[in-house]
Structure 1
Amino acid sequence: MAQEYDLVVIGLGSGGGLAAEFAAGELGLRVAAVERGRIGGDCLWTGCVPSKALIASARVAHTVRTAGTFGVTAGEPEVDLRAVWARIRSIQAGIAETDDSPDRFRELGVDLVEGSGRITGYRQVTVDTADGERRLDARYILVCTGSRPAVPPIPGLDTVGYHTNETLFEIDEPPSSLVMIGGGPIATELAQSMVRLGVPTTVLEMAHRLVPRDEPELADRLGQILRREGVDLHLSTSATAVRRGGDGVVVETDDGEFSAAGLLVATGRTANVQSLGLGELGVPVGPGGAEVDGRNRTLVPSIYVVGDAAEGRADFTHVAAHDAVLAVRDMFFPGRGAPAQLTPWCTFTDPELAHVGLTAAEARERHGRSAVTVHRHELAQNDRARADGTTDGMILVVTARDKIVGAHALAPTAGEFIHELALAIHFGAKLNELSDLVHIYPTLATGIGRIAADRSFETAEKYRSLAKLTRWMG
């Protein structure tokens, strides 16, 4: 006999967990949540949490190594990689025992169902559990199944052992050296961290720059920083075959061969939607996810899909969480849950590379070349950056007819202060309006105020003659 719910959530990662909490805890709905693995999903176990914990350890090692520039005796740090990986697992366990604890969800009233779920009707989910099939009927179904690493069809790849972000943090310590295929955010963050921790790392990226979706001017500068730190970076380089050999694995490319003890593949993501049964209900699905409308609804009005599982939505934890809550609002308060169209993101290298809105090229294509202006503030001109010894970076603001349409920053904590510029874009602010805000000194964010002030000074110049005339008439 089927059990009836207001909402069945499939997948308890960042999006599904928050949706279940909101629906059961805040709205008092009858909620069931289906999870085939560990609560917390990719973010907790293979993505955001372990990678940021790794980055923190790597930053400490880098600080020890470069302490001499601050008048402190420097030295080569003694890195215990096994201890670094143990710290990562400890942090994950702490979060799992609190925020992502099964008991916490049960206390909220969520019925947790362990097993693989598939959608067997417009308002029905069937779960394969350890005790057999269990049928759940629901007014609405929310799919939050995320994505998995995409594995490219490189000859020989399936015959050698390789890592992805799903396996790298499951081992006791990393290989003694690495070759990475891919130059997106995952590979870029990991490569810098590995080199800082003493693991020689080569990055092979087929595009002509790292993180190709980001502002090219800053992405190129980030590549230069990584090279200076010791990352063996090869751009415009495609892997053509993989085989065992050398220290462990050899990657053949159109630019020679590269060998290391281990191989990591970071070439994008594939949505986890193929086995859900959506296609049988007439919902188009593909590698990028299930097709949804502007409210994250599929062609079946009772079925919503969010996060990495939805085609066309950005593959970020914060997007999944944001859209999941909005989807629940839209189900029970129709018209209140349109997903945000402005998505900021950040690659957590050191310095961080943050992005919101349009790149300069995208702005010129959309608004016309003559309407677009690019405003820059070099960190070498920022007092806080000078004091902190972090002057290699830039804040870049893109305007169209003086309205802010894009903002990008290569700077420490860029992911924190980019939100001011995201808010400005969201509300259609003009650049000189930001000069009305008082920015705390000394901070990196004073660079935003400096850019805005410069634009205001340019406007004031136009009225210089009028000011003189007013003085004469007075």
Structure 2
Amino acid sequence: MENLTCDILVIGAGSGGLSFAAGASQMGANVILLEGHKMGGDCLNFGCVPSKALLASAKVAYGQSNGAAFGVADQVPQVDYAAAKDHVRDVIATIEPMDSVERFEGFGVKVIQEYGRFVSSTEVEAGDHLITARRVVIATGSSPLVPPIPGLGTVPYETNETLFELNEKPEHLLIIGGGPIGLEMAQAHVRLGCKVTVLEGAKALGKDDPELAAIVLDNLRAEGVEIVEGALASEVRGGAGAIEILTKDGASYRGTHLLMAVGRKPNIEKLNLEAAGIETTRTGIKVDDSLKTTNSKVYAIGDVAGGLQFTHVAGYHAGVIIKSALFGLPSKVKTNHIPWATYTDPELAQVGLTEAQAREKHGDKLEVARFEYHHNDRAIAERKTKGLIKAMVVKGRPVGVSLAGHQAGEQCALWSMALANNMKMSQIAAMIAPYPTIAELNKRVAGVYFSPKLFESQFVKRMVGFVQRWMP
């Protein structure tokens, strides 16, 4: 056993772990990084990157079969599903060097490709290494949650960790789970020529504003995705190429392949957290608002911390704890400005409070400004007019924004900045967006907020009349 010491030990080389390790090492800390699986974590290898790459292939196929409105003859796309997966793998390989062992060793990080296991409050065992660290950062992420549905143990199924290695195009893909992962993959596969059925036990896209979620769901159904809500799976049976799902209401759904997309679980099994005095909750490791665990020398960031499970949240967490772990400065995590997006077509995005949440919290103080995509000239030019932006405003400041439509994920970033900096709607209204762009939607919704105050105010009208009479 080799004994090692360091200032900072990072367990997990996903988005959060890599961000923190690189920053801490370049600022002068002695950093060791452990990764027992793949550098880059879930996002690079099984999540954000491959899913968006497959969606890009699907978008090209959809464009070939839907060009008539632009004066381009529709064609039946000749989809090579295995080649589309080669495209996915090429995208991963292109990004991979940014997360490689070599790159991080270049930053001065000692990378050990082993899983870590606590043996005391400050010691972690990794392979034949025993590491003593002043501070430990747990960034082990999450994995697909597979519920104990009767029969599932004998039926072949995919998760996001195996789907992108599948080269055989599914004839009929069954998806259990109507959240972002399930619906993104549903649209990708229906556009690539598969039949797709999505079974959701509650409401599809249930964490988002239902009015905006409906815009996305209606479009998916129009493209041929069968989405069944309130369909709780009670049994799975059959075999490869002939899978049947029974639901609690007595319905039956048959397909050739099955994708499980019902949620995520924190990766904590290998850590032996009890040895370090680290408590857990139902959703992950218990942390305070500075992301410290019940062991004051150990932090948990990203998915494993049990909050919002997004790559950009893990990166944000890394920035929060840099101040505390390296400089001993107080630093607390905030969630009100964290955006999320579902990359279907149209996209769905949210930052801050939904309308329902804002009404519950602020009551009559809430004002809601709405602007629809079909009034945006760029959306009209590109025939992307299905969409809506809603801004929830309290005392002149946005407290949440919901978007559904073309580039909703891109537009959401502006509102994250607004919430992070406690900006006013007047500052959004003062923005100048190039014409014609989708970004004009943000300015226009701010204009909608101010319109009644300017154009329906009798005081304003009297003031204008007075000035016009007396102005030389």
Q: TM-score, normalised by structure 1?
A: 0.95
Hey, what's the Cα distance between the residues in 1 that align with 2:253 and 2:265?
A: 27
**What does residue range 340-359 of structure 1 map to in structure 2 within 5 Å?**
340-341=334-335, 342-359=337-354
SS at match of 1:355: strand
Hey, what's the Cα distance between the residues in 1 that align with 2:288 and 2:347?
A: 33
- Given residue 65 of structure 2, which amino acid in structure 1 is its aligned partner? R
SS at match of 1:217: helix
Question: 1:207 corresponds to which residue?
Answer: 202
Hey, what's the Cα distance between the residues in 2 that align with 1:30 and 1:263?
A: 45
For 2:376, which of 366, 374, 382 is the aligned residue? 382
CA contact (8 A) 2:287 2:305 kept: yes
Q: Deviations over 1:241-276 (max 9, x none)?
A: 100069411000125111111111111100011331
CA contact (8 A) 2:10 2:31 kept: yes
Hey, what's the Cα distance between the residues in 2 that align with 1:255 and 1:233?
A: 17
Question: 1:74 corresponds to which residue?
Answer: 74
2:466 aligned with 1:469: yes
Cα offset for 1:335?
2.7
Q: Deviations over 1:352-391 (max 9, x none)?
A: 11110000000011111x2222211111111000000111
- Given residue 56 of structure 1, which amino acid in structure 2 is its aligned partner? A
Cα offset for 1:60?
0.3
CA contact (8 A) 2:155 2:239 kept: no
Cα offset for 1:104?
1.1
Cα offset for 1:183?
0.5
Comparing 333-342 with 375-384, which one deviates more in the overlay? Answer: 333-342
Question: 2:300 corresponds to which residue?
Answer: 305
Hey, what's the Cα distance between the residues in 1 that align with 2:168 and 2:393?
A: 46
2:329 aligned with 1:335: yes
CA RMSD, 1 decimal = 1.5
2:253 aligned with 1:258: yes
CA contact (8 A) 2:241 2:255 kept: yes
Question: 1:32 corresponds to which residue?
Answer: 32
Tell me the number of residue pairs that the alignment of Structure 1 and Structure 2 aligns: 465
**What does residue range 100-249 of structure 1 map to in structure 2 within 5 Å?**
100-127=99-126, 129=127, 133-208=128-203, 210-244=204-238, 247-249=241-243
SS at match of 1:57: helix
Question: 1:5 corresponds to which residue?
Answer: 6
Hey, what's the Cα distance between the residues in 2 that align with 1:419 and 1:118?
A: 38
- Given residue 312 of structure 2, which amino acid in structure 1 is its aligned partner? H
Q: Deviations over 1:38-69 (max 9, x none)?
A: 10110011101100000000000000010111
Hey, what's the Cα distance between the residues in 2 that align with 1:116 and 1:30?
A: 19
Hey, what's the Cα distance between the residues in 1 that align with 2:29 and 2:419?
A: 35
For 1:288, which of 283, 286, 299 is the aligned residue? 283
Hey, what's the Cα distance between the residues in 1 that align with 2:54 and 2:207?
A: 24
Question: 1:428 corresponds to which residue?
Answer: 422
- Given residue 261 of structure 1, which amino acid in structure 2 is its aligned partner? T
Q: Deviations over 1:200-253 (max 9, x none)?
A: 110001123x21111111001111000000001111111111000694110001
SS at match of 1:164: coil
Cα offset for 1:287?
4.0
Hey, what's the Cα distance between the residues in 1 that align with 2:88 and 2:410?
A: 23
Cα offset for 1:471?
3.3
SS at match of 2:75: coil
CA contact (8 A) 2:24 2:326 kept: no
Cα offset for 1:420?
1.2
Cα offset for 1:310?
0.4
CA contact (8 A) 2:236 2:245 kept: yes
SS at match of 1:286: coil
Hey, what's the Cα distance between the residues in 2 that align with 1:403 and 1:439?
A: 20
Runs of 4+ in 1 over 4 A off after TM superposition: none
**What does residue range 317-332 of structure 1 map to in structure 2 within 5 Å?**
317-332=311-326
Cα offset for 1:338?
2.2
- Given residue 22 of structure 1, which amino acid in structure 2 is its aligned partner? G
Cα offset for 1:112?
1.2
Question: 1:14 corresponds to which residue?
Answer: 15
CA contact (8 A) 2:349 2:404 kept: yes
SS at match of 1:140: strand
Hey, what's the Cα distance between the residues in 2 that align with 1:246 and 1:228?
A: 29
Q: Deviations over 1:109-136 (max 9, x none)?
A: 2111121211122221111x2xxx3101
Cα offset for 1:2?
1.7
SS at match of 2:295: coil
Q: Structure 2 unaligned runs (5+)? A: none
SS at match of 2:453: helix
Hey, what's the Cα distance between the residues in 1 that align with 2:329 and 2:61?
A: 50
CA contact (8 A) 1:274 1:286 kept: no
Question: 1:86 corresponds to which residue?
Answer: 86
Cα offset for 1:94?
2.1
Hey, what's the Cα distance between the residues in 1 that align with 2:287 and 2:119?
A: 19
- Given residue 269 of structure 1, which amino acid in structure 2 is its aligned partner? R
- Given residue 415 of structure 2, which amino acid in structure 1 is its aligned partner? L
Question: 1:453 corresponds to which residue?
Answer: 447
Hey, what's the Cα distance between the residues in 2 that align with 1:455 and 1:347?
A: 26
- Given residue 11 of structure 1, which amino acid in structure 2 is its aligned partner? G
Cα offset for 1:174?
4.0
Hey, what's the Cα distance between the residues in 1 that align with 2:246 and 2:235?
A: 5
Hey, what's the Cα distance between the residues in 2 that align with 1:281 and 1:336?
A: 23
Q: TM-score, normalised by structure 2?
A: 0.95
Q: Structure 1 unaligned runs (5+)? A: none
Cα offset for 1:325?
3.1
Hey, what's the Cα distance between the residues in 2 that align with 1:351 and 1:395?
A: 12
Hey, what's the Cα distance between the residues in 2 that align with 1:123 and 1:173?
A: 47
Hey, what's the Cα distance between the residues in 2 that align with 1:170 and 1:83?
A: 12
- Given residue 187 of structure 2, which amino acid in structure 1 is its aligned partner? Q
SS at match of 2:235: strand
Comparing 457-466 with 194-203, which one deviates more in the overlay? Answer: 457-466
Cα offset for 1:473?
4.9
